[in-house]
Structure 1
Amino acid sequence: TDPIESGAKIAAGTKIKILATPDENYEIDEWLIDGTPIANTGLNFYYLSLSKDTNVKVTFRSTKPVEYVVTVDPVLPSAEAGTVQLFKKNGDAVESGKSVVTGTEMYVEVKPADKYELETLQVNDKTIKVGDENLVNLSDGGYKYVFTVTGVTTIQATFKQGGAVEQLSANPIVAYVTNGGTRLEIVGATEGVDIRLYDYTGQLLLSSTEHALDISALPAGSYIVLVGNYTTRIVK
C-alpha cells in the first residue's frame, strides 16, 4: 500500500500499519500511542484502527555495548621501579588507555624491578596493599589483581626500595617540613639533583632542583618525595 504522510487525515475505522525502522546499532525501545506506552512485541511495526486523531511516537535505544577506558598511570617513584600491565581474563594484553566493554573481567600484573618492592596498588579509589587476600603472589615475584570493568578505571602502583629501614638510617638525605608546614627542606642531597613531590594518587605536584620548596598551597596530608633515586615520605 501507499505510505501515509504524518499529519494526513484518514477516514475513521481505517486500519493502518505503522512501520519503524531502527538504524544500525539501534533497536525499538518503546511505542507510545497518544503518550501511553503499549506492549513492545519486539516487532518493527504496529497495527492501529483509527477512531480519533492519534499521535504515534517511537523511541529507540542503542544496542552498541557501553565501553570504558582503562588507564595505567605512571608508576611511583619512577619508571625504573617496576612495571604494570593489563590483561583480559583470557590472557590477551590490553594497552593502557584503551576502551573495554563494561562487564569485562580483567587482571593487572605488577612486577617490581630489582631492589624494589610493591607498596600499594591503587585501582580508582581502592587501595590494595601487599598482604591483601585479593592480591595474588606470582612465582616471579610479581602480583596479580583481578577486577571487572564497570566504569572508567585508573590503576597505579607505588613501589619502594627494598630494605627501606636500613637505607633510611644510612642515607644522609633528609626531607622535612618547616615554617609551620609551609616549607619543604632537603638536607644532604647533591646540588642540582631533581626533587619531585607527589601526592598518593601519583600526581606530580612540585618539581625543582632547589633544596627548599614552598608547599604553603598544599593541603595537609602525606606526600611522597623523590630526591634523585631516593624516596621518602613527609607529612604536612
Structure 2
Amino acid sequence: MFQTHIGVDDLMDRGARLLIVDDDPDIRELTRQFLHAHGYDVDAVEDGVAMRKALEQESYALIVLDVMMPGEDGLSILRSLDRATAPAIIVMSVIGEEVDRIVGLEMGADDYIAKPASPRELLARIRSVLRRQGERPATSAAAPGRHFQRFAGWRLDAIARQLFDPDDVVINLSDGEFRLLMTFVDHPRRVLTRDFLLDHSRGANAEHFDRAIDVQVSRLRRKLMRDGGSSGGGSAGGRGDELIRTVRNEGYMFAADVERR
C-alpha cells in the first residue's frame, strides 16, 4: 500500500501538473494516485494520441513516458516532441534495456528510470528534475548585477539557465545538457572522468554507465558547433569539438578559459 504522507519537498512542488503516459491501466492509475497523494495534479493517458490531446488542453511541468507501448512506442513519441517547448521528460524503460535509456537521453529526455520502478524512486526523480528546472525568467535581459560565465565568445547565464552563442542567439539546452555544461565551466582545463561528470551532472544516485555521458557530451558538442573564435572571450576557439576535448582512457576536458563577469 502506498503511503500518503506529505513532506516538505512535496509542499515545494505542490500544484505542479504531471502527465503519465503508460498503456498499462493498473500501473497508470496506481502511479496517478500515488503522485496525487504527494501533492501533484496528475493526468494519466494510455498512448501518444491521448498525450498530444492532453498537451493541447493543459500545460504540464513534466511527463513520465513509458517506452514499451504497442503501436507508437515511447521513443517515437519523444522523437516527435519539440524539446525546446515540451515539458521535462522522464523516460521509463525495462530493466536491462540500456539502449532505450541511451537513445532516450540522446533524444533529449531529462532523466530515465528502470521499470518496474518503486513509486518512491519515481517520486524522487520527479522532484529532482522539477527542482533542477527551477524558476526561469520570462526574459533573457540581464538584471542589474547579473553575472555570466563567458568562454570563447559564449555566455552562460546560470540563473536564467540560458546559453548565448557569440552572435547573442539563445541556444536551447535540455536540463541534462545544461547541467553537464555547468560542470565543465565550473572545472575548466581539468581532465574530468566519466564518473565525475555523472556524479556532478546527474547526481550521485544516478545509474552509472559510461555510454550515458558519452551521449550527453556528443549532444552538447553539437550545440556548441559554432565558430566563436571571432567574438573573442577565450583562446580555445568556439567549436564544440575544440571546447570539449576527449582525453583518451581518462575522460573529457573543457579546453577554454572561463571568466565570470
Verify same fold: TM over 0.5.
no
| Structure with max Cα Rg | 1
TM-score range, shorter chain: under 0.3
Between Structure 1 and Structure 2, the one with more strand by share is 1
Between Structure 1 and Structure 2, the one with more helix by share is 2
